[in-house]
Structure 1
Amino acid sequence: MAGRLAFAAALGGCLALSVPAASAAAAPAEAVPTVFFGDSYTANFGITPINDTDKPRGLCFQATENYPAVATRRLAGKGITLSVQSDVSCGGALVENFGREQQLPFGVGTVPAQRNALKDDTKLVVGGMGGNTLGFTSILKQCSAKLRGGEGAILPGAPVDPDSPSGECRDFLTAGDGKEWLDYKFEQVETELVDMLDSMSYLSPEAERVLVGYPRLVPQDTTKCLTPAPGQTQLPFADIPKDALPVLDQVQKRLNDVMKKATADTGADYVDLYDHTGKNTACDGAGRGIGGLLENSKVELGTQPIPWYAHPNEKGRTIQAERVAATIETVLNR
């Protein structure tokens, strides 16, 4: 039960700029003071080893080789040096945790509001949030009987409406109370993202702000999701009905669109991962950049592997890092 509570808190879990061609302008001559923020997709939950040098922050399940670390090295190879002041990304973070402390598992305490990492001299702020505030894990549980049971006990959130059968989640999410709930959550995410991006400019007036979107989980051709990945026995989305997969994709696309709009409204920049990962979804077999819902990740509780729960694997992390580095290079060179 302790393990379940740990991950319930630790897991959660965008139109300003796509990634254009890199500018020919000279790279910044001096190191750029940088802060990375975000949720489990920035922390890269599921990849090990975990950065646990600063306890209790180890319970954020932030990979030492998350995309901020990989992107920073990639930029250094091009002569662009980021002086990383902090990487405060933490699994389970809500958008509100940018502005206020986040409770950690096991009752060990909290980590400070992520905004505390920003300084007067910070010149670059990069990361992504929104999925946990939207309640994406609750949507997954609305559509999966397995996730409502023991196999999803350590995944945070509850079904939106446990009285509505998981097999009917498509209809639930596209009409009536389910649709009304979704519309409200999207409004909440947009409002909170705009407030967060505006607060960055207040805290670090000279900082470029880069909001990183989420990679695509469900492919356009959902028949690919009816075959387990090589070496796996579970389907990529377990028992989620096939007719619900397009709805999950629509929800994710809408979330990324909300993130894009928030950056456009605040003058920030956006990293489009959704439009660049259509061939690396959880259903793309050996080419998948997303670990399946119940596919074992690299993280263990004791000796028990914990599922990916649809987070980027190493391939997906590398794609994140490439796209983020390309955007940072463009932003700093313009």
Structure 2
Amino acid sequence: MVRRMLTMLAAALLVPALAPPAHAAVQGEVYVALGDSAASGPLVPNQVVPDLGCWRSDHNYAHLTARAIGAGTFRDVTCSGADTGDMYASQGTDLGSVPPQLNALSQDTTLVTVQIGANDVGLTGFIEDCLNLLPPPVGDACNDDYIENGQDTWRLKTDALRPTLVALAADIRARAPQARVFMVGYATYAPQNGCYPRVPIIRSDANYIRATLMYFNRMLAEQAAAAGIGFIDLQTPSTGHDPCTSPGVRWIEPYVPAAPAAPFHPNALGMRNFATIVTAAVSAV
């Protein structure tokens, strides 16, 4: 994913909260943030050390949430390119490997957010495949590429991820038995009908991306409920702040970013708003 993100950047230079049983956030929380690039904030100022290969911002939603709730201890191990396997095993990045994310958990952890799964099903490649600089009939739609034998392969991969997420939630709770755990969903990456050519994804493909991401977020919410953890919806509040909207309004940058952020990833404004949403969810009484 990181290499694909760098390729896209090079091209540019020439993506209501539900909570578990009520517990008010308290001063002194031991907060651990897990996740992929949607959580880490690649290119959002300022990128932090160590683990520069993770493209992690000190203004991602987890950092801002930690400050808002007055966390006593905060460990952010989110990393661009991470999938569920990287929760358990070392992850290779362009600048070296990083430890398994679950290693950041401890018996005294009191709060965990986890945003993961998009790389398991190939979200970045999916959106990239649908970029189309020329409209039909010259350019081809991408949505039919994901139909095999009458079945949507993207949804099949999404469904196959369900037991993995339930098992991950159980493993988080086993390592952090005192923690309130929240699964975080993904934002809105495409509005109804898209906005071709402003974002070069044609109408049918924009609608396909929208529908499949809605399905993916529903799956995340369902698996969070099945695992008995909270779910934080970013899709609904980010509607109207997608890559088709204007700079200063959008929370997710388009293929050619106008703000420091990776293509189809949250910008600083998005991270601030996501932090408000996450803070409200984890602080719910």
Q: TM-score, normalised by structure 1?
A: 0.74
Structure-2 residue corresponding to 1:309: 263
Does structure 1 residue 43 correspond to structure 2 residue 29?
no
Q: How does 1:96-107 map to 2 (within 5 A)?
A: 96-105=85-94
**Counterpart pick for 2:217 among 240, 256, 259:** 256
Does structure 1 residue 95 correspond to structure 2 residue 84?
yes
Instruction: From the two aligned structures, give the one with the greater helix fraction.
Output: 1
- Please state how far the C-alpha of 1:26 moved relative to its aligned partner: 6.7
- Report the identity percentage: 23
- Please state how far the C-alpha of 1:296 moved relative to its aligned partner: 5.0
- Please state how far the C-alpha of 1:109 moved relative to its aligned partner: 3.1
- Please state how far the C-alpha of 1:180 moved relative to its aligned partner: 4.3
Aligned-CA RMSD value:
2.5
Task: Check conservation: 1:100, 1:112, Cα contact below 8 A.
Answer: yes
Which one has the largest radius of gyration?
1
Q: Compared with structure 1, are the counterparts of its residues 72 and 169 closer, same or farther at alpha carbon in structure 2 (3 Å cutoff)? A: same
Which structure 2 residue ranges, 5 or more long, are not aligned? 8-14
Does structure 1 residue 62 correspond to structure 2 residue 62?
no
SS of 2:153's equivalent in the other structure is helix
Alpha-carbon separation, structure 2, partners of 1:87 and 1:290: 21
Number of matched pairs = 270
Q: Compared with structure 1, are the counterparts of its residues 144 and 60 closer, same or farther at alpha carbon in structure 2 (3 Å cutoff)? A: same
Q: Compared with structure 1, are the counterparts of its residues 26 and 328 closer, same or farther at alpha carbon in structure 2 (3 Å cutoff)? A: closer
Alpha-carbon separation, structure 2, partners of 1:310 and 1:65: 17
Q: How does 1:271-290 map to 2 (within 5 A)?
A: 271-286=232-247, 287-290=249-252
Alpha-carbon separation, structure 2, partners of 1:103 and 1:170: 31
- Please state how far the C-alpha of 1:112 moved relative to its aligned partner: 0.6
Does structure 1 residue 169 correspond to structure 2 residue 142?
yes
Q: Compared with structure 1, are the counterparts of its residues 178 and 211 closer, same or farther at alpha carbon in structure 2 (3 Å cutoff)? A: farther
Task: Check conservation: 2:196, 2:202, Cα contact below 8 A.
Answer: no
Task: Check conservation: 2:143, 2:204, Cα contact below 8 A.
Answer: yes
- Please state how far the C-alpha of 1:179 moved relative to its aligned partner: 3.9
Structure-2 residue corresponding to 1:121: 108
**Counterpart pick for 1:226 among 193, 196, 216:** 196
SS of 1:110's equivalent in the other structure is strand
Structure-1 residue corresponding to 2:188: 216
Structure-2 residue corresponding to 1:327: 281
Q: Which amino acid aligns with 2:222?
A: K
Alpha-carbon separation, structure 1, partners of 2:244 and 2:168: 33
Alpha-carbon separation, structure 2, partners of 1:311 and 1:198: 28
Does structure 1 residue 293 correspond to structure 2 residue 251?
no
Which structure 1 residue ranges, 5 or more long, are not aligned? 76-80, 147-164, 228-234, 300-307
Structure-2 residue corresponding to 1:247: 208
- Please state how far the C-alpha of 1:177 moved relative to its aligned partner: 5.5
**Counterpart pick for 1:142 among 129, 134, 138:** 129
